[in-house]
Every structure is written in structure tokens, then in C-alpha cells.
Amino acid sequence: MNPILTAGGLNTFYGRSHILFDMGLEVRQGETVCLVGRNGAGKTTTFRSLMNLSPPKSGRVRFMGRDCAGLPPYKMARLGLGFVPEDRRILGPFSVRENLEMGVISGRTGRWNLESVLDCFPTLRRMLDRMGASLSGGEQQMLTIGRALMGNPEVLILDEPTEGLSPVIVGELKELVLRLKREGTTILLSEQNIRFALAVSDSVAVMDKGRAVYTGPVESFRNDAEIQSRYLAV
Ligand code: ATP
């Protein structure tokens, strides 16, 4: 399969702090790629750089056959990059239905609409009129993924989706990601939960101090105890 998203040579700064050092990655159509690495390794900054929310000072991002240097985040979203941030950004004073409807992106249609998203998230169907703020952490995580799907993304980016969730909800999330994957959704995620990462990913990139220090198929990563102990808190 061809790469749908590639990035290379990304150097990103927050003020004077140099955070990403020649970071690169590749995501192929239908693949699930996971960035792993300790707190502060640069996973979120990589996603923000891809979306141009934190525009890199140098480097290349190619998405859907297009060079994306300098494209504002809303244009990245229109091209089909769907970002689910770590802090979820649910709009508290709006209902579940309204939060979902806000995910619609004009000009982007496809498999996902309110009905198909609710089929995928039966819990959300039962709470359509509840306010976003009244949802539990797990419900908010499902809502934020549902909202991103409403935009019919070509690549779904999930930034540490399991963070702060109970084991039961993590299990549900795993089933959801596996289902999306079976249906052909291309997914780029970051995780500190290595068991989750191993269960859902096809390939893994390990980040350390703003760099990709290892990239390989999930099976090689699973068997590489050296890499796991050197770069991860396992
Ligand atoms: P985490 O799991 O903690 O989210 P991460 O791998 O996603 O980690 P980033 O959030 O990308 O890492 O952070 C990379 C580095 O950039 C860290 O050293 C962090 O302290 C720093 N950093 C993140 N956001 C900012 C910011 N807004 N201003 C300055 N430094 C920042």
C-alpha cells in the first residue's frame, strides 16, 4: 500500500526550546501506526506539527498526495486529517448530539454520519441530550472519537486515547480501534499503555527526546526487550 501520510526532517520549537529533531514517520493506507515513548518524548508535538497547530520550522509533511507545508489546521482537517487531542476538548455546555454535529466538515462525506457513528457508539445514542460536561472520562473519549469520525477522516489521529481510563473502558476502546481497523480506517496513535499499543498496531515508532529512535513492525517491537527497556518505562 502507498503511504498516505509521510513526514520527514521535522524540527519544531516552542519558543526557543527545540522539541522535535528531524522527526519523520510514514503511515500507509489502512495501517495502524503507534508512536510510543516516555512522557515528554514529543508524541503530541509530532501530531501538532502534522496538523500545523505547532508549525515546524523545517521539514516536510505530505498527505493525500499533497505537500502540506504552511497549510492551516482547518485545511489539514479538510484534507482528511482527523485529530483527537489528548485533552479531548469536549464542549461542556453543549449536548452530545451538538458535540457530534460539530465534527461535520463541509465537503467531507463518506461512511460516517450521525446514524453510523451512533451505531458504533450505542452508549452515546442513549445520552444524546446530555451535556458534554456531565459525561464520564470514558464517555468523553468515545464522544471525541465519534466527533472526529463525523468528519470522515482519511487518517484518524488519536493522542494517548487510553490516558486516565479504567481498565474496562480501555478494553472497550481496544475493541473500537480494532473494529475501525478491520473496516479499513487508517489510524495514527500515541500510547504509553504498551499492551494497548501492541494489541492494536501494525507498526510502532519509538520516540525519545524528540526523535524517532526505532521504527518497525509490531512483531519486531514486541520481541525487542532491549528497545522496550531502554526507551520505555516498562
Ligand atoms: P506526554 O505523554 O507527556 O504528552 P509527549 O511525548 O506527547 O508526552 P510532548 O507533549 O510533545 O510529549 O512534549 C515534548 C516536550 O515539549 C516536553 O519536554 C514538554 O515539556 C515540551 N512542551 C510541550 N508543550 C509545550 C509548550 N506549550 N511550551 C513549551 N514546552 C512544551
Q: What is the pLDDT of residues 192-227, one digit of tens each?
A: 999 999 999 999 999 999 999 999 999 999 998 888
Give pLDDT, residue 173.
92
Arithmetic mean of pLDDT, 140-148? 94
All structural domains of the chain, each given as residue ranges with its CATH number in brackets, are 1-80+156-234 (3.40.50.300), 87-153 (no CATH)
Confidence bin at 73 (pLDDT 50/70/90): very high
Is the Cβ–Cβ distance between 156 and 186 less than 8 Å? yes
Does residue 17 line the site of ligand 1, with CB under 6 A?
A: yes
Give pLDDT, residue 91.
79
Q: Which atom of ligand 1 approaches the CA of 210 most closely?
A: 14
Helical H runs in the chain?
43-50, 73-79, 96-101, 114-120, 122-125, 137-149, 167-182, 194-200, 218-222, 225-231
Residue 39 Cα to ligand 1 middle (Å): 8
Q: How would you classify the pairing of strands 66-67 and 58-63?
A: antiparallel
Confidence bin at 233 (pLDDT 50/70/90): low
Residue 1 has pLDDT above 80, yes or no: no
Cβ contacts of 224-230, under 8 Å, gap ≥ 24: 228/194
Q: Locate 161 and state its grid cell.
A: 486515547
Give pLDDT, residue 109.
93
Q: State which amino acid sits at residue 213.
A: V
What does the mean pLDDT of the chain come to?
Answer: 93
Give pLDDT, residue 87.
77
Confidence bin at 140 (pLDDT 50/70/90): very high
Residue 179 Cα to ligand 1 middle (Å): 30
Residue 47 has pLDDT above 80, yes or no: yes
Q: In what order do the strands lie in the sheet with 32-36?
A: 81-84, 155-159, 186-191, 32-36, 203-208, 211-217
pTM for this entry = 0.94
Q: Which of 195, 212, 217, 200 is nearest to 45 (CA)?
A: 212
Is the Cβ–Cβ distance between 187 and 34 less than 8 Å? no
Start-to-end CA distance of the chain, whole Å, equals 32
pLDDT digits (tens, 9 = 90+) for 96-120: 999 999 999 999 999 999 999 999 9
Does residue 44 line the site of ligand 1, with CB under 6 A?
A: yes
pLDDT digits (tens, 9 = 90+) for 50-63: 999 999 999 999 99
Q: Which of 233, 159, 170, 230 is nearest to 196 (CA)?
A: 170
Q: In angstroms, rounded to a whole number, what is the distance separating the alpha carbons of residues 56 and 21?
A: 10
Q: If you ran DSSP here, which 8-state letter would residue 134 be given? A: G
Is the Cβ–Cβ distance between 128 and 116 less than 8 Å? no
Does residue 10 line the site of ligand 1, with CB under 6 A?
A: no
Residue 23 Cα to ligand 1 middle (Å): 14
pLDDT digits (tens, 9 = 90+) for 179-193: 999 999 999 999 999
CB atoms within 10 A of CB 232: 16
pLDDT digits (tens, 9 = 90+) for 157-186: 999 999 988 899 999 999 999 999 999 999
Q: For cell 464517555, what's the residue? A: 139
